[in-house]
Amino acid sequence: MSNFNHLSNLLESFTKNGPAGCACAIAKDGKILYEGYFGHADIESGKPITEDNIYRLWSMTKVIVCTAALILFERGKFLLNDPLYEYLPEYRDMNRVEVDPNGNLRIKPVKNPMLVKHAFTMSVGMPYYMGDSYTAKEMAKVREELRNTLGNYDLRTEIKAMSKVPIAFEPGTQWLYGYGHELVAGLIEVVSGMTVGEFLQAEIFEPLGLENTGYRFHGDMRERMVSFYQRSEDGKLTKASAFFDEYHEPDALYEGGGAGLYSTVKDYLRFTQMLANGGELDGIRIIGRKTIDLMRRNHLNETQLKDFNHNNSYLAGYGYGLGVRTMMDPAAGNCNGSIGEFGWTGGAGSWTAIDPSERFSVVYMHQMIPNMEEYHHHRVRAVAYGCI
């Protein structure tokens, strides 16, 4: 137990000069080894963090959505090397931006189509709309127009509108974090005939008993949501509004592929244990072991790897698979984990590591920006692996 005591001490220390509260759980072979809940879910009311608290997953939504899409892949609904336009026809005739040495922009047709695999691997050339590039700014204009004209709209409406924006590079040639997993969610909707939320509920949440995971609030979930704080350089925490909270409202239509789900630590741990244990948990098969192996292999070439992890110490040692980071070199990553450990991070502070070689997974969550991800997540990673 001394190793777990070290983890508890670490998590408690986080709340002294970081997030208001945090939680972590570890499981192996389908059994929970550790749960720890520290600090406050809401400073102003004094509510403590408990196992019932709900967290905004933000980009940890991606792991669930890409798993869902791969369920359809192994049912023969699509191939990774299929042109994306076979399912999203508006992406047939795409343009890209070309910048000459003088900084002048030219819009040119792409030479090759986007493939389904490019959407999984973030190599479609579509960033998020918050950036400063030409493509990001044009995507922001599209989003603003949709909000102004439609107000409440769904994912497929946005995907169609975004197809008119010139992409940042020839598909498949570089890596750029962004809109790819929205396209993956759109693919799910087309080939399944369901909304992405309906598919997740039917194929993952209900079979695994994840009653506290989803897009929309119901019951007392609003009250159980951890408050979101902004941390200043001097460590002061100020309660703030959070991205995507409007999509949790019962009348919302948008269900994102890259962000938008909420969950508890224990719900997300059950999902990760399913993946860590070969796609099965408590006798319930969700996805095949070999499909998980495909998901957690590095799919980037040398050029794309430089885009992904070059001079990024948080991602040191990792490559990128089908929607997940994947450990290629623990020594380069200064990590006591395993080759093939995989997972992702949410911008508000959530993080997971999934290790099929050990049938082990760990989930950590807090709700703060900046999330201080390297400080918190790498320490949790080191101590969690020390526990096994």
pLDDT at residue 205 tops 60: yes
Alpha-carbon span 180 to 64, nearest angstrom: 14
Report percent pLDDT > 70 for the chain.
99
pLDDT band at 1 (very low <50, low <70, confident <90, very high): very low
- For the chain, give every domain's residue range: 2-58+212-386, 73-192
Phi/psi of residue 24, nearest 5 degrees: -150, 145
Q: How far is CA 351 from CA 22, 253, 268, in A?
A: 11, 27, 10
pLDDT at residue 2 tops 80: no
Our CA angle for 337, 343, 346, nearest 5°, is: 120
Element (H, E) at 377: helix 373-386
Sign of the torsion angle spanned by Cα atoms 198, 200, 204, 209: negative
- Is residue 226 within 8 A of residue 367, CB to CB? The reply is yes
Q: What is the pLDDT, as a whole number, of residue 12?
A: 98
Alpha-carbon span 323 to 335, nearest angstrom: 21
Name the fold adopted by 2-58+212-386.
Beta-lactamase (3.40.710)
pLDDT, one tens digit per residue, over 252-308 is: 999 999 999 999 999 999 999 999 999 999 999 999 999 999 999 999 999 999 999
pLDDT, one tens digit per residue, over 56-111 is: 999 999 999 999 999 999 999 999 999 999 999 999 999 999 988 887 899 999 99
Segment 211-217 mean pLDDT: 97
Q: Kindly report whether the global pTM for this prediction surpasses the value 0.75.
A: yes
pLDDT at residue 338 tops 60: yes
Q: What is the pLDDT, as a whole number, of residue 197?
A: 98
Nearest Cα neighbor of 226 from 348, 144, 327, 101 is 348
Q: What is the pLDDT, as a whole number, of residue 100?
A: 82
Alpha-carbon span 122 to 264, nearest angstrom: 27
Chain center to CA of 138: 24
Alpha-carbon span 355 to 234, nearest angstrom: 36
